[in-house]
Structure 1
């Protein structure tokens, strides 16, 4: 194991996020490797950590002032042992190979956990949609797709949205793909409802996260009703996590964005959440405006000199990190435990550092990693693909019923894998081992490819 990590770090020394994601899996799947000597003999780990394909390209586009701009585009096609590559596109200045490789690696196991026939991939660009006009975003998306279209297709690679890529961007990308290929296929998920999208897709990651949390609590005879919850972020995942928590009777007191966080001790109700959705989805405003609209709410701006996030210092029962990677470090984890949090469910991808995870597990906190807890988004993307293939449109009740069943099955499979491999109740081990075994068994069935 140590040799594998040393090779990865020597080959790509700057890719720290990717190293972190791989190390977490490598450390937790050791019991599965011990139980299956053929895995080591066939070098499945060495094969898993290398993407099947990395695509990099320039994206030239014209801004509204008539000045040419150039960004860098990526698509990481990580693993197709189970099905076509599936994973989102992220438009954000932080996008680089390390972040996209970690996301694609995580996506491979996440997709395997859904039991749907989906491989793992991820992509995006170092383009920032914030502050851009609709026409600038459209021109960028069209230029981006003029290269990406060569590498994707409904049976090859099916991208979706991620940070910075919502319904607007998916529409622009799909329109250009359709024009270039002269075909209307389910090549992108997260489409608008009136041209091939699925009901529940925008809500799926947040809803699935809360369904998973409810299953975790139900094992001990508990429920979300009456629980005080901390939620980070204020985008799609955070919004629908809050919505489903409200439905289940929980009290949510925080939300955040890159400028800071709000704490509303009265609780964010349906009316306040509707304000947040208008603010972030339509007006593209800042979360501080919530505090201006609702007296009694405290807004705390980001302090770049602090090593911890004050959002995680509020007393609560449950925490749902739904913003971005590594937003909870060891110090944050200690604050959460000291504040009474006994359940942490990840709505974002890898939002907790290794030190933070270790502290949660040592403190006996119920901890659900993102590859299990936030799999609802890709699960409904898979359902959208199925509807597109059949030219059908399922009603809301059917899609949400299927989503809830998928999250129940992921929860059950994580617990079963953790029990079988000597770590009962450890969702981190369970998720990694269950996803790992499904992927590598498929790889071995297909030979040395």
Structure 2
């Protein structure tokens, strides 16, 4: 395999799909050596088959707003690879959604899902619909129209969508209601469901909890822990909320959250009352964090900036792709950061990752660190299939075990001769080997 040749070919076929191309290049660079040491992969053209989705569904979504006006959005579902299980990945509702972003997310999902050890393939979906400022009735009509187009292509053993940015319990409820009506059965086809109708405990917190468990495993390799650590976090949704809850429980102090308008610096750290307020802030539909200082005036709001200029021990980007760039990374290094955990999908640019590696800093990629969300989705699927509900403690224990096993896999394949653990390489190789070997077993299909 020659990475440059493959990337040149992909760029020619898919011009302008920068997020997708970035994700593919990162994986190919990590697995190049292991791939070339195994000629059976080349003979079966595993890479050429793996980097292209099985299929991409694109459809029109027409819906009526509260004024009776017709609105038209575009919906997509990228079914990327189902070698080890049904396609699995969230539905993102955000104006930025396009095919490139969904292909990047779906491609990452293949390896993330493989790392969980659960039988799930990779997929992703979404729409350029913006739920901000919409009434519940408008969101319901959109979700029903979206599912009306998608329902024939999904199922508990085929493709199991979940929530993502813009898609929470409310949206999943509306989508599942329409699916159930059309299919005329109750089934575990969507995850992130309400607790009354098939959902799993700790699912909203799972991504943040899992990332914090993974970070704790990273710290243990240095005989360290979260106790007394200052942690900077971006975002203020469910992911940041879950991180803040678990970091605080483990003895750390979260001092920042952020939004499109800037970031909050709370030197005293987020306590139970402040963490609870994050849910209220998120539910306001304003998508801004500045109201935090009205509620807690001892904190500071810094407009138009990102939290990576704040001195910290651990940085946990938890908002969106490419939110932490090379300059941000240099600032973190200058301020003495000890560990970086990518909680958002591809939250750091290649320049930022290069900076962390150059400085021999532990850096966890999102496909490993944020796998807790899809892991608990997989556990929700298991509960639905067996018609059982597990306790909070049971789900949390399974999540901890899964995140610990992911860390073991990353350590196995990512430890270098000098002892430095390249978590990017470790995660990519571990996920790739599982998927590639399965594809060999299944033949060329």
- Name the TM-score class by shorter chain: over 0.9
Native 8 Å contact 1:415 1:424 kept in 2: no
C-alpha root-mean-square deviation of aligned residues, in Å? 1.3
- The partner residue of 2:326 within 330, 335, 339 is 330
- The partner residue of 1:410 within 406, 409, 412 is 406
Native 8 Å contact 1:326 1:353 kept in 2: yes
Correspondence for 1:148: 150
- The partner residue of 2:384 within 365, 371, 388 is 388
Native 8 Å contact 2:360 2:420 kept in 1: no
Instruction: Name stretches of at least 5 consecutive residues in structure 2 with no aligned partner.
Output: none
C-alpha separation in 2, matches of 1:281 and 1:193: 19
- In the alignment, does 2:189 pair up with 1:187? yes
C-alpha separation in 2, matches of 1:370 and 1:3: 26
Matches within 5 A, 1:60-139: 60-139=62-141
Deviation at 1:287, TM superposition (A): 1.1
Correspondence for 1:305: none
Pair 420,337 (structure 1): closer, same or farther in 2 beyond 3 Å: closer
- In the alignment, does 2:6 pair up with 1:10? no
Deviation at 1:277, TM superposition (A): 1.4
Per-residue CA distance 1:131-176 (angstroms, 9 max, x = gap):
0000000000000000110100000000000000000000000000
Instruction: Name stretches of at least 5 consecutive residues in structure 1 with no aligned partner.
Output: 303-308
Correspondence for 1:351: 347
Matches within 5 A, 1:27-426: 27-281=29-283, 286-302=288-304, 309-419=305-415, 425-426=421-422
Deviation at 1:310, TM superposition (A): 3.7
C-alpha separation in 2, matches of 1:424 and 1:122: 33
Correspondence for 1:427: 423
Deviation at 1:292, TM superposition (A): 1.3
Deviation at 1:296, TM superposition (A): 2.3
C-alpha separation in 1, matches of 2:153 and 2:198: 21
C-alpha separation in 1, matches of 2:409 and 2:416: 10
C-alpha separation in 1, matches of 2:195 and 2:418: 45
C-alpha separation in 1, matches of 2:88 and 2:108: 11
Q: TM-score when scaled to structure 2?
A: 0.98
Deviation at 1:260, TM superposition (A): 1.3
Deviation at 1:283, TM superposition (A): 6.2
Pair 235,400 (structure 1): closer, same or farther in 2 beyond 3 Å: same
Deviation at 1:281, TM superposition (A): 2.8
C-alpha separation in 2, matches of 1:260 and 1:425: 33
Deviation at 1:130, TM superposition (A): 0.3
Large movers: runs of 4+ above 4 Å: 282-285, 420-424
Per-residue CA distance 1:193-247 (angstroms, 9 max, x = gap):
0110000111110000000000000011000110000000001101110110000
C-alpha separation in 1, matches of 2:104 and 2:419: 25
Pair 420,268 (structure 1): closer, same or farther in 2 beyond 3 Å: closer
Deviation at 1:365, TM superposition (A): 1.1
C-alpha separation in 1, matches of 2:75 and 2:287: 27
Count, aligned residues: 443
Deviation at 1:34, TM superposition (A): 2.4
SS of 1:223's equivalent in the other structure is coil
Deviation at 1:35, TM superposition (A): 2.1
Deviation at 1:424, TM superposition (A): 5.0
Deviation at 1:419, TM superposition (A): 3.5
C-alpha separation in 1, matches of 2:74 and 2:61: 6
Native 8 Å contact 1:423 1:429 kept in 2: no
